[in-house]
């Protein structure tokens, strides 16, 4: 009886190992097949966001994108003249962790538009950051004119109306925008990147 039980246990273990191996191989195959299309879709989403946050341009900003300290800068030009700079920024201070934004700056440093790229905030609360009522407050905002050159919600002494019951997400949004502004001004002043040896060509997600 004991031998029969031992044999059954061994068979069960071998069966589980076989199933696990097959499942791992299947998952690896699916990942390999879907990785390329997913990356392509994410890149297209990023390119579309650049179009949305910048004034009209006729160059390809993705050809000369520059990554600095984890943020990606895309310069938009029209007839050879800079019309703005899109900055892919992020914050780790969201209620549910990190989320990514694309912030478009005009040559004078003011904000043109903002697009939310990725976020995992609470549905019906923090997710309202994507709605015009909240994010359009930043349009035409020049952080240089704010007290302390800081963008903050009104509860913290700033000018931004926080999302109702989602102050945490609102503060994080401001943090992402502030990060983009400070790095933009630090490296380029009120102009878009043209040439710098401190950057890495080719943005990444």
Q: What is the pLDDT of residues 92-151, one digit of tens each?
A: 999 999 999 999 999 999 999 999 999 999 999 999 999 999 999 999 999 999 999 999
* Contact call for residues 36 and 30 (beta carbons, < 8 A): no
Residue 40 lies in a domain: no
Q: Name, in order, each residue with C-beta under 8 angstroms of 64's C-beta and a sequence gap of 6 or more.
A: 75, 193, 201
Arithmetic mean of pLDDT, 155-166: 96
> How many distinct structural domains can be found in the chain?
1
What per-residue confidence (pLDDT) applies to 169?
A: 98
pLDDT of 168 strictly over 60? yes
Residue 21 lies in a domain: no
State how far the Cα of 30 lies from the Cα of 49, in Å rounded to an integer.
28
Residue 151 lies in a domain: yes
What per-residue confidence (pLDDT) applies to 204?
A: 36
Residue 121 lies in a domain: yes
Residue 37 lies in a domain: no
pLDDT of 202 strictly over 60? no
Query: Is the pTM for the entire model greater than 0.85?
Result: no
State how far the Cα of 94 lies from the Cα of 127, in Å rounded to an integer.
11
Residues of the domain holding 61 = 51-201
Residue 70 lies in a domain: yes
- pLDDT, one tens digit per residue, over 80-102 is 999 999 999 999 999 999 999 99
Residue 59 lies in a domain: yes
pLDDT class of 11 with cuts at 50, 70, 90: confident
What per-residue confidence (pLDDT) applies to 129?
A: 97
* Contact call for residues 122 and 160 (beta carbons, < 8 A): no
Residue 43 lies in a domain: no
- The more confident residue out of 38 and 152 is 152
């Amino acid at each position: 009886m004991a031998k029969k039980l031992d044999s059954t246990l061994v068979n069960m273990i071998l069966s589980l190992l076989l199933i696990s191996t097959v499942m791992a191989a299947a998952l690896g195959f699916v990942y390999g097949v879907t990785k390329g299309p997913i990356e392509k879709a994410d890149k297209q989403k990023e390119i579309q966001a650049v179009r949305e946050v910048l004034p009209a341009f006729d160059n390809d900003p993705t050809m000369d994108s520059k990554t600095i300290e984890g943020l990606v800068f895309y310069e938009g030009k029209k007839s050879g003249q800079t019309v703005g700079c899109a900055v892919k920024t992020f914050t780790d201070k969201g209620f549910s962790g990190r989320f990514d934004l694309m912030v478009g700056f005009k040559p004078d440093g003011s904000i043109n538009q903002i697009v939310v790229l990725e976020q995992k905030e609470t549905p019906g609360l923090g997710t309202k950051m994507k709605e015009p009522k909240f994010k359009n407050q930043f349009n035409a905002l020049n952080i240089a004119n704010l007290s302390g050159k800081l963008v903050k919600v009104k509860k913290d002494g700033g000018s931004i109306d926080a999302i109702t019951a989602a102050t945490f997400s609102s503060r994080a949004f401001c943090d992402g925008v502030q990060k983009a502004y400070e790095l933009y001004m630090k490296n380029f002043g009120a102009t878009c990147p043209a040439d710098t040896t401190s950057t890495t060509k080719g943005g990444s997600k």
